[in-house]
Chains A and B, each alone.
Chain A
Amino acid sequence: MAAKHIFVLDNGGFNIKAGFANNSEPRVMPNAVMKAKSERRRPFIGDQLDECRDVSGLYYILPVQKGYLINWDTQKDVWDYLMGKDCFNVHINTMSLVLTQPYLNFQSVQEGLCEYWFEEMECESLLTINPGTLSAYKYGKENPSELCCLVVDCGYSFTHLIPYVQGKKITEFVHRIEIGGKMLTNHLKDIISYRQLNVMDETYVINQLKEDTCFVSTDFNGDMAIAQKKAKENPYVVDYVLPDFTTIRRGYMRPKDEAGSGEQVIRMNNERFAVPELLFHPSDIGIQQMGISEAIVYVIEQFPSEVQYHLYKNVLLIGGSCSLPNFKERVEKDVRTMAPAECEVRINLASNPVTDAWRGGCVLTKDPQFSSQLVTRREYEEHGFSLCLQRFDV
Chain B
Amino acid sequence: MNSSQRESARQKDANSRRVLDEAARRRRARKALEALEQDNFHDDPHANLVLSKKIPKFEESLDGKQTRRRKSKNFEIFKQRFRKSFAQLLEEEQMNRPEPPNYVSAQVPPSKFPERHFCAVCGFICNYTCLSCGARYCSVKCLGTHQDTRCLKWTA
Docked-complex contact A281 and B106, CB < 8 angstroms: no
A334 to B14 CA separation, bound complex (whole angstroms) = 45
A35 to B44 CA separation, bound complex (whole angstroms) = 8
Are A175 and B108 also in contact (CB < 8 A) when A66-B86, A106-B93 are? yes
Minimum CB–CB distance for A393 against chain B, Å? 12
Residues of B close to A142: CB separation below 8 A: none
Out of A274, A286, A289, which one reaches B123, CB within 8 Å?
A274
Are A176 and B86 also in contact (CB < 8 A) when A116-B78, A120-B78 are? no
Docked-complex contact B116 and A183, CB < 8 angstroms: no
A50 to B52 CA separation, bound complex (whole angstroms) = 26
Q: Does A191 sit at the interface, judged by CB under 8 A?
A: yes
Interface of B, helix, strand, loop or mixed by DSSP:
loop
Binary interface encoding of chain A residues 261-298 relative to chain B, with 1 for a CB under 8 A from any of its CBs, else 0: 00000000011001000000111111111110011001
A72 to B77 CA separation, bound complex (whole angstroms) = 12
Q: Does A24 sit at the interface, judged by CB under 8 A?
A: no
Out of B44, B71, B107, which one reaches A59, CB within 8 Å?
B44
A42 to B138 CA separation, bound complex (whole angstroms) = 48
Docked-complex contact A283 and B36, CB < 8 angstroms: no
Docked-complex contact B89 and A290, CB < 8 angstroms: no
Stretch of B2-10, B15-23, B97-105 at the chain-chain interface: B97-105
Out of A175, A190, A224, A285, which one reaches B106, CB within 8 Å?
A175
A161 to B101 CA separation, bound complex (whole angstroms) = 13
On chain B, which size bracket covers the interface?
A: 35 or more
Count of chain A residues with a beta carbon within 8 Å of a chain B beta carbon: 72
Minimum CB–CB distance for A281 against chain B, Å? 6
Task: List which A216-241 residues lie within 8 A (CB) of chain B.
Answer: 221, 224, 227-228
Chain B, Cβ-Cβ closest to A201:
B42
Q: Does A167 sit at the interface, judged by CB under 8 A?
A: no
Given contacts A174-B101, A228-B124, A284-B116, 8 further A-B contacts (CB under 8 A): A35-B45, A60-B39, A108-B84, A190-B35, A274-B118, A289-B111, A290-B108, A298-B108
Per CB-CB distance, the 6 closest pairs between chain A and chain B, nearest first, are: A112-B82, A200-B41, A288-B110, A201-B42, A186-B36, A106-B89
